[in-house]
A and B are shown apart, each in its own frame.
Chain A
Amino acid sequence: MRFESPTTTKAAAALLASESGVAHVLAGGTDLLVRMKMGATEPDLVVDIKRIDSLRELKVTAAGVHIGAAVPAIMLGESDKLRGLWPGVVEAANLIGSDQIQGRCTVAGNLCNASPAADSVPALIAAGAKAVVVGTKGKRRVAVEKVVLGPGRTSLARDEFIEAIVLPARAGKSADAYLRFTPRTEMDIAVVSAAINLTLSRGIVQSAKVVLGAVAPTAVIVPAAAKALIGTKLDDAALAKMVTACEAACNPIDDKRGTIEYRTKVAGVMARRAALIAFERAGGAK
């Protein structure tokens, strides 16, 4: 195995392009180094992207948020401004592992690892986040939901990697929320999760996005659930309709951590609670 730590995105892309064997980008290493240890992957080349200065930048303005791909998740929670604008994204990212894991793990790594249970992914999709992808041919921007194809699979080409995750400008009276269900409070993997992003106008939901995690091979956007919320103050009928839509969108696995029936039911419960939290955060009152 070769270890490289380039200082520019161009050099990193060139290294990835030139490797004929197995090449991996190394961000926080909290997935990659575990997989290497287990023998699940035996890379010929590891490219550490943390020495690329621009990737270490976290920029938070009302016009948009730029999260460099080498920014550890713990830094998101340390930004009061980011917590104010995107509380759901921050709470999702800060649920990943322990403080030790937080000090290393990145949201881009959480996305690229492509686990169906990745905590930050539903929240990023609900937020309308885009990934800035860089390769030998230049840069492109792609919606976060287009990055993951299935468990462990992404749409990135061999020479490509994510340089940053960007969040759009934030409209007033908007908020998001993320909830996951785990048997333990800390250090566990989501059995089911839900992210909700809402914008209100005169106290009524004007736009909404509902995303479920861990109920299918990739995170699931549920347009019918969002539609159920729009034009309402989250009255019981609207919430019931949203829950039904969420349940219909579930296609979960059946395992010792949760049966299909259980995961489907809890998905609706998580979405309902997350919607109420986002509504309240956005300044809504019933």
Chain B
Amino acid sequence: MNGVTVSAKVNGDAVQYVCPPDESLLDVLRNRLNLTGVKEGCGTGDCGACSITLDGRLVCSCLVLGAEAEGREIGTVEGLSEGGKLHTLQEQFIEKAALQCGICTPGFLVAAKVLLERNSNPSEEEIRYALAGNLCRCTGYDKIVRAVQSSAKIMRRGKKASR
């Protein structure tokens, strides 16, 4: 099988890889770039554990080919923390115990980050709709919703303070 050579940006850093033309971006991220924060739950777009951003849009990396990413900007959960400091969402997921086994957590974090960038004060209903593409087998979702709500509050306050 002929490999495809791809240059892209992941979490701001330039990367290059060669992958078979039918390999998913999920497999590229995990197996070639060692970004194992991206998880595979289903491989068919149903669970959202593989959520990433592609040129700023939330997508399932299991439903993107590695070959498609040429020149694109990819964002994964590894890009959330800055200089070793966790993102507010990560802190709040820990604070509110919004995870148990943790398989779904990276996907929820990436999806929640995209939501809060678009809507800094989402209602509970808006949060539940925005996270409908992410499945969690353990928590029952309530703590996840609370963690996103408290993150939104903290982040809104932070914005005001830095103004």
Contacts and interface: CB of A to CB of B under 8 A. Distances in A.
Interface string A44-79: 001010100000000000000000000010100000
B63 A99 contact: no
A100 B67 CA distance: 19
Main DSSP-derived SS at the B contact region: mixed
A29 interface: yes
Contact of A1 (B22, B24, B57, B132): B22
Interface stretch (B40-48, B142-150, B153-161): B40-48
Given A98-B48, A101-B45, A1 B111 contact: no
A25 B134 CA distance: 28
Contacts of A74: 57
Interface of A: 1-3, 5, 26, 28-30, 33-34, 36-38, 46, 48, 50, 72, 74, 97-101, 103-104, 185-187
Contacts, number: 86
A46 B21 contact: yes
B51 interface: yes
Contact of A29 (B58, B63, B133): B63
B59 interface: yes
A3 to B, nearest CB: 4
Contacts of B115: 99
Contacts of A72: 57
Nearest to B43: A37
The 10 closest A-B pairs by CB, nearest first: A98-B133, A3-B21, A186-B132, A103-B57, A100-B133, A3-B67, A100-B60, A103-B59, A33-B63, A34-B44
A30 B63 contact: yes
Contact of A100 (B43, B59, B68): B59
A33 B67 CA distance: 13
A79 B137 CA distance: 35
A185 B45 CA distance: 17
A64 to B, nearest CB: 26
24 contacts: A1-B20, A1-B22, A3-B22, A26-B65, A26-B68, A29-B64, A30-B63, A38-B44, A46-B21, A97-B133, A98-B134, A99-B58, A99-B111, A99-B115, A99-B133, A100-B45, A100-B48, A100-B60, A100-B133, A101-B45, A103-B54, A104-B63, A185-B132, A187-B132
